[in-house]
Structure 1
Amino acid sequence: MSQGHTKRAREGHSTTPSLKKSKSSLAQTDLLPAPVRETTPGRVYVFGTGDCAQLGLGEDVLSRKKPANLAALNDEQIVDIAAGGMHNMALTAEGKLWSWGVNDQRTLGRSGDEYTPMPVEGLDNVKIVKVACSDSLTVALTEEGNVYTWGTFRSAEGILGHSKEKEVQELPTIVEGLREIVDIATGTDHVLALDVKGIVYSWGNGQQMQLGRRIVPRRMLNGLTPESVGAKGMTKVGAGSYHSFAIDKEGKAYAWGLNTYGQCGNEDPNVENVPSVALIDGLKSETISDVQGGEHHSFALTKEGKLYGFGRSDSHQLGLGYTEEPGSEDPSSHKKAIRHPTLITGLPSIKAISVGGNHTLALTQTGDVYAWGFGEMLACGNGEEEDVEKPLKLTGQQIEKCRVVKVAAGGQHSVILAVLER
């Protein structure tokens, strides 16, 4: 959510958190490699809706129909980007973060102007290698494998809290008990972390079973402490707004959480939640390299560069050109859902994906971007306020001679990182 996500309404003891110990006896050669920071700097471009400072172009720029350069970051050697519901992060080659967008719950990790990118505070002696944004929280992974968070989690009832001790965390703070982390992912209000042994941890709001464990309503704060989801031997994590993913060493994909539209890959329309880690049967024949989700839909990327979509499709979130299976007898078909993982045709080989609330960006091996889905907020970058039914190549005068290296889809906006070389 790589995750970006929307602000839509949900459907559906000790002061130092301790984690459950694993009895793993993995040999050193079985450990996952430490996270490595990107090294190719580029320029940041934004498009979509910016009425809540999402674009970073100043308070007078409320929208951009086509990619527009965020000139404030041109001299900062940006190597990676992340988009949340209404805020963004940019990572420099030196491991520093810049932020812009909504700061109501301190998601920017700093004070100052929301409409202009500025450095995140409190990370002076820390080098970040990856960053992820939820709706009201930001998560950063250091080169040593530590995790920092700031902002807060929300539930259907309002603010849930950052931790049992702190309602809103204003500046980055380390997550105690997590060590040797190699990957992170965020949903709307939950976080996943993967350690070197392939163990997945989750924390945040668990009302839709996205934490992989049952959270008793009167003890919802227990969800703010990271715990293992019971999955071992994993190599990557991903998330949708209210659901979660993991991939194992064989390239098999697993999901858990909200499944009202089949976004967890469970095709039974009567299964509204997947309570624990479950194999996605419809993808068993493929070797998966990444799985990411939006508000109620999901995408799986294969090692061959093919893309499969499943879940909600009423705004053409899946890019299939249709919103439900022809002749569907699904009792929930009025919800426009395609529950079986379905190949997205007409795309070149895909290198990376980023799934926003209801739109998606796909980066090709050659540095082009395709976008589709909900179009009213201009987040697909095609200049039209209409849904994009099938993958459409992103164009624009400012990126004509650029090769895109990173994509980040937010709730109602998009961010790309590109290098000039054509």
Structure 2
Amino acid sequence: MVKMRSKRGRQGVPKAPTQPRAKRVKTASTKFSPLPGPETYPTKKKIAFVMGTGDCAQLGLGEGCLKRKKPMPIRSLEDKNIVYIATACLHNVAVTEDGKVYSWGCNDHGALGRTTNESDEYEPGLVEGLDGVKIIKAVCGGNITLVLSDEGRVYAAGTFKMEAGSFLGFSPELARQQQKKFVPLKYLERTRIVDIGAGSNHAIALSQDGLVYSWGLGDHSQLGRRISVRRPDSWIYADKVAGLSDIKKIACAAYHNFAIDGDKNVYVWGLNNMYQCGLNVEGEIQYPTTIEFFENKNVEQIAAGEHHSAFLLENGDVYTVGRGDAGQLGIGSLAVSSDTVEKKKEVEAKVEDLKDGEKANGTSMSSKTAVSIPRRVSGLPPCKAIACGDFHTLALSRDGKVYTWGSGITYALGNGRSISEDDDTGADELVPYELTGQKIIGVEIVAVGGGSQHSLLLGMQDRTETSS
């Protein structure tokens, strides 16, 4: 079921078998009982931390603070009881214990879900369009934010981008508009959704009955289903991903996706130009395909960046695969290029592309160093959570320590190191670095997240202590 695009005239593998067209979801509303939310830690003080560079307001520390080399608390969120964080390249959201959503970062295309002026973007603000709705989870994509309510309903803000100046909305009524407040996705209203994911310009959702739905752009097979050439608006609607059932977990990357079923089989589909899908074939994975490497390995969680992926096993081991020239695989110098100047230019170029509404899929990066078979990251204690930024990776150990590795040019790793005394560019970490910092002393980190130029942490602290 793998379809590859031919390269330099070479013949690709045969076409995958024709898949049945998925039925469109009806839009009538159905009432559901509440879903369980994230752990609330009622006796603890919740603190969100950020580190990295905030040229596009993504630090949330105000206009006067655009760089933090070590973790820094976001003071304006300290009294909000934050229990969930989500981040993307240029923006972030935080969900409170009572289901409210705060957002900050770049709002050029409405991803913050609220009306802002430029200064408003630099600090967290309450989103619009969710009055009376309790949110339990949020995910961020390139210029889109999705949130999931406790009733299993999905709301969206922002837009999908087709190319510079061209946008793809969420429905024919909202097509090619940039939604600066959250709107319900009515085509999912009859389906109880239990999980969501957002990529660069597409999204996926997991239903309570174990089916996966996808919508948005499918130009790199990231939708995992047939798209009608005669009906381009079919991209807008959420339809079932062919060949998947009894799915328990999903993960969404920039241009590829993962799903884990009840038997612990791991499925992948989408762009595989840097082997980020964990399959040793070049091209695109058109439909969900099992990753045989992880058979009987009991994958617990999957996270993915732009062109690399990370896998957390039940025993606490972490594996990585895909692009590694910035050290994002954490396996040392074997898969690393030392050209810091070029890497810095690439990160900056991607940020500009996203701000300008252009795609940055990296399909021309075939010459970059990549690893095609998943490799275990050594030097880590047993872990309980992982996250990927575009060019870096984070892991949270079972004893509450945070490890980072990959591109450090924007200080997203929190290592505080520059490449030299004369150059303030941040230094990469080729293997896991144990995060330290005065502001996180005495803080129990419970969640991690990665963007393009920054990282987020969620910490808990006894209310009798301070984080000064």
TM-score by length of 1: 0.88
Cα shift readout 1:10-61 (whole Å, capped 9, x = no counterpart): xxxxxxx97358xxxxxxxxxxx94423312510111101111000111111
Report the alpha carbon displacement of residue 282 of structure 1 after superposing the two structures with TM: 1.4
Report the alpha carbon displacement of residue 220 of structure 1 after superposing the two structures with TM: 3.8
Aligned to 2:40: 39
Aligned to 2:298: 287
Say which SS state the counterpart of residue 363 (structure 1) adopts. strand
Whether the 8 Å CA contact 1:206–1:214 is kept in 2: the answer is no
Q: 1:419 aligns with which of 448, 451, 460?
A: 460
Aligned to 2:246: 233
Cα shift readout 1:94-135 (whole Å, capped 9, x = no counterpart): 010011100011111112300111111121110001000001
Taking only the aligned residue pairs, the percentage that are identical comes to 43
**In structure 1, C-alpha distance between the alignment counterparts of 2:383 and 2:173, rounded to whole Å:** 43
Whether the 8 Å CA contact 1:316–1:323 is kept in 2: the answer is no
Aligned to 1:115: 122
**In structure 1, C-alpha distance between the alignment counterparts of 2:151 and 2:307, rounded to whole Å:** 34
Aligned to 1:185: 197
Aligned to 2:19: none
**In structure 1, C-alpha distance between the alignment counterparts of 2:55 and 2:328, rounded to whole Å:** 23
Whether the 8 Å CA contact 1:19–1:227 is kept in 2: the answer is yes
Say which SS state the counterpart of residue 256 (structure 1) adopts. strand
Report the alpha carbon displacement of residue 165 of structure 1 after superposing the two structures with TM: 2.7
Report the alpha carbon displacement of residue 138 of structure 1 after superposing the two structures with TM: 0.2
Aligned to 2:308: 297
Aligned to 1:75: 79
Report the alpha carbon displacement of residue 80 of structure 1 after superposing the two structures with TM: 0.8
**In structure 2, C-alpha distance between the alignment counterparts of 1:157 and 1:358, rounded to whole Å:** 23
Cα shift readout 1:373-406 (whole Å, capped 9, x = no counterpart): 1111110010121211001011111001111011
Q: 1:176 aligns with which of 150, 172, 186?
A: 186
Report the alpha carbon displacement of residue 420 of structure 1 after superposing the two structures with TM: 2.2
Query: Are residues 1:377 and 2:410 paired?
Result: yes
Whether the 8 Å CA contact 1:205–1:220 is kept in 2: the answer is no
Aligned to 1:8: none
Q: Which amino acid aligns with 2:38?
A: R
Aligned to 2:431: 390
Structure 2 gap ranges (5+): 1-21, 27-33, 337-364, 418-425
**In structure 1, C-alpha distance between the alignment counterparts of 2:391 and 2:298, rounded to whole Å:** 25
**In structure 2, C-alpha distance between the alignment counterparts of 1:207 and 1:151, rounded to whole Å:** 19
Query: Are residues 1:131 and 2:138 paired?
Result: yes
Query: Are residues 1:208 and 2:220 paired?
Result: yes
Q: Which amino acid aligns with 1:267?
A: N
Say which SS state the counterpart of residue 42 (structure 1) adopts. strand
Aligned to 1:165: 173
Whether the 8 Å CA contact 1:160–1:221 is kept in 2: the answer is no
Query: Are residues 1:242 and 2:255 paired?
Result: yes
**In structure 2, C-alpha distance between the alignment counterparts of 1:246 and 1:172, rounded to whole Å:** 26
Whether the 8 Å CA contact 1:374–1:388 is kept in 2: the answer is yes
Report the alpha carbon displacement of residue 213 of structure 1 after superposing the two structures with TM: 2.0
Whether the 8 Å CA contact 1:265–1:281 is kept in 2: the answer is no
Report the alpha carbon displacement of residue 216 of structure 1 after superposing the two structures with TM: 5.6
Whether the 8 Å CA contact 2:23–2:240 is kept in 1: the answer is no
Aligned to 1:223: 235
Q: Which amino acid aligns with 1:341?
A: P
Q: Which amino acid aligns with 1:128?
A: I
Whether the 8 Å CA contact 2:392–2:405 is kept in 1: the answer is yes
Whether the 8 Å CA contact 1:54–1:413 is kept in 2: the answer is yes
**In structure 2, C-alpha distance between the alignment counterparts of 1:159 and 1:352, rounded to whole Å:** 36
Say which SS state the counterpart of residue 235 (structure 2) adopts. helix
Q: Which amino acid aligns with 1:246?
A: A
TM-score by length of 2: 0.79
Whether the 8 Å CA contact 1:308–1:343 is kept in 2: the answer is yes
Q: 2:399 aligns with which of 358, 366, 377?
A: 366
Report the alpha carbon displacement of residue 154 of structure 1 after superposing the two structures with TM: 1.2
* Matched ranges for 1:268-279 at <5 A: 268=281, 271-279=282-290
Aligned to 2:447: 406
Q: Which amino acid aligns with 1:199?
A: L
Report the alpha carbon displacement of residue 251 of structure 1 after superposing the two structures with TM: 1.6
Whether the 8 Å CA contact 2:193–2:208 is kept in 1: the answer is yes
Say which SS state the counterpart of residue 177 (structure 1) adopts. helix
Report the alpha carbon displacement of residue 219 of structure 1 after superposing the two structures with TM: 4.5
Structure 1 gap ranges (5+): 1-16, 22-32, 326-331
Whether the 8 Å CA contact 2:200–2:253 is kept in 1: the answer is yes
- Of the structure 1 ranges 139-148 and 282-291, higher mean CA displacement relative to structure 2 is found in 282-291
Cα 1:158–1:262 shift into 2, 3 Å: farther
**In structure 2, C-alpha distance between the alignment counterparts of 1:48 and 1:217, rounded to whole Å:** 42
Aligned to 1:266: 279
Cα 1:214–1:314 shift into 2, 3 Å: farther
**In structure 1, C-alpha distance between the alignment counterparts of 2:372 and 2:36, rounded to whole Å:** 34
Larger Rg: 2
Q: 2:329 aligns with which of 299, 313, 318?
A: 318
**In structure 1, C-alpha distance between the alignment counterparts of 2:459 and 2:166, rounded to whole Å:** 36
Report the alpha carbon displacement of residue 323 of structure 1 after superposing the two structures with TM: 4.0
Report the alpha carbon displacement of residue 221 of structure 1 after superposing the two structures with TM: 3.1
Whether the 8 Å CA contact 1:323–1:336 is kept in 2: the answer is no
Tell me how large the CA RMSD over aligned residues is. 2.0
Report the alpha carbon displacement of residue 218 of structure 1 after superposing the two structures with TM: 6.8
Report the alpha carbon displacement of residue 321 of structure 1 after superposing the two structures with TM: 0.4
The count of corresponding residues between Structure 1 and Structure 2 is 387
Q: 1:19 aligns with which of 15, 20, 24?
A: 24
**In structure 2, C-alpha distance between the alignment counterparts of 1:372 and 1:82, rounded to whole Å:** 19
* Matched ranges for 1:322-333 at <5 A: 322-324=333-335
Q: Which amino acid aligns with 1:252?
A: N
Cα 1:160–1:222 shift into 2, 3 Å: farther
**In structure 1, C-alpha distance between the alignment counterparts of 2:144 and 2:47, rounded to whole Å:** 25
Aligned to 2:4: none
Q: Which amino acid aligns with 2:147?
A: A
